[in-house]
Structure 1
């Protein structure tokens, strides 16, 4: 399974950033203040503010991200990063605007399984409350309409623009259509990248053409439909490849559990 996460800590030096949106355009945290970076300078260095995952501010003190961002993909164990921060209001990770807010606690969905990447969601609690007007509302529990095939969604993140190691420091976004569960299940029936489960996952991308996708380092970032958080960047095979759309956590399947942490 290829998780859309950062490079392993053993390979991460100050000059080695995570990866991000393929086929997108520039975006700004001024326009999207709920878009945050999840960072650890001690592990990932200073050149991109230590960013290794994305996240979404869903209340003044809570950020939704991917569960696997808190795990070591090699060992499958939870990772303790004492300097875990959430960066708010920083479009360019090479700069210093905005805030680096410490994370004081983390919650991972109790049904999360790294072996299958089901229930891939986590909530980070911030040490300092943020502006309530910067919050992005979440999808309702059990909602189905935002996931209908062809629905326009937007995914956000920082990093590799082409899937080949082209690493910007600025935030990007790309619009991707939702893909039918049956199509995604056929694309990810089995194999090294994992199997698709429509109960807890949803696919989005140009399924037959490729060219637009999230990538490594976008993990935990938002998939947004009609001004609501409906998905979390989770996994996939390669980046922006035809026949392999990005796979996202279907937030409507676990929205009540997440709201229970707010």
Structure 2
């Protein structure tokens, strides 16, 4: 399931799972179990919104006029319906709001397999980079399992029945190479975790709904884009991200041509 929408199917599955497995941990806390942070800590973080100001996904500034986000975030919109808020800890006020000129998502995106879950957005006007608005460098080498990373966003603070915070949150996690994530240690299996993905895990720590498209960062570079997961912070189900390094050629070429 992607991190953008909750569905009736998910709710039914959760209730059924809880009845059959009373030992399941239900996550409560922040992003999940993260902490509040100021935008200066993640100046590349942006809120992707409708032009009415409704936040629905995260993204990252990768140049003065280019935002990286998830393909699944872009499925229901035209560019004219979108805006981006940059440089603000709050998703609802402050910073700069810039409209979107165009966007393109990966031609190989598959909503069933969740492969190639990346999209590029072009802003109507370039932004001036400051301490609160700054592009992030993209990783160009594969993730190393066990590397410390951080994911940020304005998503919900638990899987179900939680509102989205107005102020930015972050949570620390550890990277998992896709081959490690696909091992029997975790519950996805090798058919679900594919080469254009990277995972991140933490004890009851994860991204959640509304964080989709946002940045996973390690060693000062963006290594992932929030993509999908089974629940949020459920034991045995790491968060799954689009792998920036394996998709970097497409990102660079699309950013240059769009």
Same fold? TM cut 0.5? yes
Kindly indicate whether residue 215 of structure 2 is the aligned counterpart of residue 222 of structure 1: yes
Q: 1:93 to 1:132 in 2, by over 3 A?
A: closer
Shift of 1:108: 1.1
| 2:154 aligned to which of 149, 155, 158 | 158
1:236 equivalent among 205, 229, 249: 229
Displacement after TM superposition at 1:41 (Å): 4.5
Counterpart among 32, 42, 56 of residue 22 in structure 1: 32
Q: Tell me the CA shift for residue 227 of structure 1.
A: 0.7
> Which whole-Å CA distance do the structure 2 matches of 1:181 and 1:246 have between them?
11
TM-score normalised by the chain length of structure 1: 0.81
Distance 1:85 1:155, change over 3 A: same
Relative to structure 1, the CA distance from residue 109 to residue 180 in structure 2 (aligned partners, 3 Å threshold; closer, same or farther) is closer
* TM-score normalised by the chain length of structure 2: 0.82
Question: Please, which of 50, 54, 69 is the counterpart of residue 50 of structure 1?
Answer: 54
How many Å separate the matches in 2 of 1:60 and 1:106? 15
1:1-262 equivalence runs, <5 A? 2-6=1-5, 21-42=31-52, 49-72=53-76, 79-80=77-78, 82-94=80-92, 96-132=93-129, 134-140=134-140, 143-144=141-142, 147-164=143-160, 165-185=162-182, 186=184, 187-189=187-189, 195-197=192-194, 199-206=195-202, 210-260=203-253, 261-262=255-256
Gaps of 5+ in 2: 8-29
Shift of the alpha carbon at 1:81? 5.9
Q: Does the 8 Å CA contact 1:25/1:172 hold for their aligned counterparts?
A: yes
Contact 1:159/1:170 (8 A) holds in 2: no
Aligned match of 2:16: none
CA-CA distance at 1:256 after TM superposition: 1.5
Secondary structure of the residue aligned to 2:138 is coil
Residues 33 and 204 of structure 2 are in contact (CA less than 8 Å); yes or no, is this contact kept in structure 1? yes
1:228 Cα shift?
0.6
Instruction: Rate the CA distance shift 1:257–1:182 in 2: closer, same or farther, 3 A.
Output: closer
Superposition deviation, residue 31 in structure 1: 2.7
Q: What are the superposed Cα offsets for residues 100-154 of structure 1, whole Å, 9 maximum, x if unpaired?
A: 11001001111111121101100000011112451111112xx12xx11110010
- Shift in Å at residue 170 of structure 1? 0.6
| Larger CA deviation: 225-234 vs 21-30 | 21-30
The C-alpha deviation readout for 1:66-120, integer Å capped at 9, x for no partner, is 0000115xxxxxx3363201111121124x2111110010011111111211011
After the TM superposition, which segments of 4 or more aligned residues of structure 1 sit over 6 Å from their partners?
A: none
Q: Structure 1: any 5+ residue segments left out of the alignment?
A: 9-19, 43-48, 73-78
